[in-house]
Amino acid sequence: MTIASSIRAFWIVILPVTGFGQGLQLEAITEVKPLKRGKEYNIKWTGGAKSEVTKITLTNAKGVAQTWSNLPNDGEEVISLSPKLRPGKGYNLSVSVDGEKVYSQPLQVKRRVPLAITIATFVVVPSVIILLSQSEQSPEHIPDPVNDPPNPSGN
């Protein structure tokens, strides 16, 4: 791990937001973009009364991808992205409290494990294991059933 990558893992990304509410603000996602499926992210916001209910929504061009509803308005929530989200660009997070809504800048969702590694796990590794196991068990002489009839006397 290089120094740059170890520092990058601890950045707090402040996302510029747009919104309808004057008092509600989305402050941060405590992970570096892009987001990964199946991981947890800390979302922070300010605004709205503590007694109000909060809703966090992840959307893309096709509509709502995932929703976290009936959350307390305590200014912070840990959300877990579904491992079934479709990877891609153009996602947005929105936080809404009592009719006020703010949006993140566009986000990207990636696979937690890259597709090439997943394919290698299920195709390449078993193939190598089969090849290695066959090379250890190969007999010196494989009888030809047509030209080498079985010897009934066992000699």
Per-residue pLDDT of the chain (155 residues; tens, 9 = 90+): 443 333 333 333 434 444 444 467 777 554 557 888 989 988 888 888 888 999 999 999 999 999 999 999 998 999 999 999 999 999 999 999 988 888 888 899 988 766 667 676 777 777 778 877 775 555 566 667 677 666 666 55
φ and ψ at 21, to 5 degrees?
A: -85, 145
CB 25 within 8 A of CB 102: yes
Residue with tokens 């199946």: 38
Domain 3-110 has CATH 2.60.40.1930: yes
Domain segments of the chain as ranges: 3-110
